[in-house]
Amino acid sequence: MTRVQTSGRARMPKKAASAAGLLALLAGTLVVSASSAARADGDYCGHRVLGDIEQRYLAMGGPQGALGCPLTDELANPDGIGRRTQFEKGTVYWSPRSGAWPVWGEIGDYWCAEGCEAGWMGYPTSYEHTVGNETRQNFQCAVVHWQALPGNTTKTWTDGNTCV
């Protein structure tokens, strides 16, 4: 399934996005080192972030990182198995089989249009990553692809269910 969308959001050029992501992860490492002891109780911006979700959040820079501040405490997912915490700029989903991974932007929108973690794609299993001229994210049963097109449009698609 492919969706072509007109996007009001400007997307960074691929090289700039890769460099920005690397800098965010490096900066996140410094922030984690400086703030881990101060946040031993899991309280960030007035919300509790716990376990593997907290570890992923800290690896991504905590409140100053790519996700920003949490908007919720940890929530149970409708499937009764996984957990999630919603942040200003995305959501980190966790399950025992997949671990904790962030989902956001148009890839996240596409995934949730297919049912989020309860849909056919399952939980995320990686960060977004660049391959050629597109951004991809792995899920338990699919890879979601995103690509910027001329005219401020984007295309989001998957190759289909790999769990069938």
pLDDT in tens, 122-158: 999 999 999 999 999 999 999 999 999 999 999 999 9
Tokens of 6: 């007109």
Q: Is the entire prediction scored with pTM above 0.85? A: no
What is the three-class DSSP state of 109? Answer: helix
Q: What is the pLDDT of residues 70-103, one digit of tens each?
A: 999 999 999 999 999 999 999 999 999 999 999 9
Dist. CA 137–CA 111, nearest whole Å = 10
- The amino acid at residue 89 is K
| Cβ(95)–Cβ(117) below 8 Å | yes
Ordered by start, the domain boundaries in the chain are 13-158
What was the pLDDT predicted at 71?
Answer: 98
What was the pLDDT predicted at 41?
Answer: 72
Could you tell me the pLDDT band of residue 35, with boundaries at 50, 70 and 90? very low
